[in-house]
C-alpha cells in the first residue's frame, strides 16, 4: 500500500470510528430502550425498570455494538486488502494509533468543559460510561480502558481476516484480481514503439 493510500485509509477509519461511536450511543439509548418499553410495558412505572435504565447496561450495549461494527468493518478490510495485495501491517498499526489518539485526546480537556460542551462530551463517551463506576468517575481512565479493546480487536480481526483468506486461496495471484495494479517493471522491460522505429531507421541508414 502506498503512503498516500495508507494515509487516506487511516483518516477514513478514524472518521468511521467516530461515526460508529456516535451511532452506537444513539442506538443503545433510543432503539434498545424502545424495544424494552415495547416488550415489557406493564412494568413501566416499576422500580425495576427505573434501576435498569439508570444502570450502565445501555453503555455496555453501546460498547459491545461499537466493537461488533468495528469487527465487521476491519474483517472486510482485511479480506479486500489480501485479495488486492494491499495487506500492510505498518498501515494498520498506524491506523490503530490514530484511532486511539483521536478518540482519547479530547477527554484530556473534559475537566475544563462545562454546560452544553460537557453534555456533548458525556454523550460522545457514552460507550465508556459503564466503566466510571470502576474508576471512581474518572473519565480519563474509563475512556483509556474503554477504547483499547475495540482498537486492539480491530487490528486482530484485520490480521485474522488476512490469514483466513490466504488459507482459502493460497494460489490466487492478487495482481489478476486488482484492477488498480500497475506493473511498472513490465513497462521498463517493454521497449517503446518510438524507440523501435528510431532503431530501424538507424539500421536502414
- State residue 202's pLDDT score: 53
Q: Determine the Cα angle at 14 with ends 179 and 160, to 5°.
A: 60
Q: What 3-state class would DSSP assign to 198?
A: helix
Mean pLDDT, the chain, whole residue set:
81
Closest by CA position to 102, among listed 20, 36, 5: 20
Q: Which of 71-85, 126-140, 146-160, 166-180 has the lowest mean pLDDT?
A: 166-180
Query: Which has more confidence, 101 or 201?
Result: 101
Q: Judging by beta carbons within 10 Å of its beta carbon (0-12, 13-18, 19+), is residue 70 exposed, middle or buried?
A: buried
Looking up cell 447496561 gives 57
Across residues 71-100, what is the average pLDDT?
93
Look at the block and give the residue holding cell 450495549. Answer: 61
DSSP-based three-state secondary structure for 13 = helix
Task: Kindly report, residue by residue over 77-89, the tens digit of the pLDDT.
Answer: 999 998 888 888 9
Cell representation of residue 89: 501491517
**Cβ atoms within 10 Å of 114's Cβ, excluding its own:** 9
Of 148, 103, 150, nearest in space to 124 by CA: 103
CB 65 within 8 A of CB 27: yes
Residue the block writes with cell 522491460: 189
HSE at residue 164, side-chain half, CA atoms within 13 A, is 12
Question: Between 172 and 194, where is the model more confident?
Answer: 172
CA distance 192 to 197: 9
Residue with cell 541508414: 205
Amino acid at each position: 500500500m502506498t503512503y498516500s493510500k495508507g494515509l487516506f485509509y487511516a483518516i477514513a477509519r478514524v472518521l468511521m470510528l467516530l461515526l460508529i461511536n456516535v451511532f452506537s450511543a444513539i442506538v443503545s439509548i433510543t432503539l434498545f430502550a424502545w424495544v424494552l418499553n415495547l416488550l415489557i410495558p406493564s412494568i413501566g412505572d416499576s422500580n425495576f425498570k427505573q434501576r435498569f435504565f439508570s444502570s450502565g447496561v445501555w453503555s455496555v450495549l453501546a460498547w459491545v455494538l461499537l466493537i461488533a461494527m468495528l469487527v465487521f468493518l476491519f474483517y472486510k478490510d482485511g479480506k479486500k486488502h489480501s485479495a488486492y495485495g494491499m495487506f500492510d501491517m505498518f498501515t494498520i498499526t498506524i491506523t490503530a494509533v490514530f484511532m486511539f489518539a483521536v478518540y482519547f485526546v479530547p477527554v484530556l480537556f473534559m475537566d475544563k468543559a462545562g454546560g452544553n460542551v460537557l453534555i456533548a462530551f458525556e454523550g460522545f463517551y457514552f460507550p465508556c460510561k459503564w466503566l466510571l463506576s470502576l474508576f471512581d468517575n474518572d473519565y480519563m481512565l474509563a475512556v483509556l480502558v474503554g477504547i483499547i479493546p475495540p482498537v486492539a480487536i480491530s487490528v486482530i480481526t484485520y490480521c485474522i481476516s488476512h490469514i483466513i483468506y490466504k488459507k482459502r486461496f493460497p494460489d490466487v495471484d492478487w495482481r489478476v484480481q486488482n484492477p488498480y495494479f500497475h506493473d511498472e517493471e513490465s513497462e521498463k522491460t517493454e521497449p517503446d514503439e518510438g524507440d523501435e522505429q528510431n532503431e530501424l531507421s538507424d539500421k536502414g541508414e
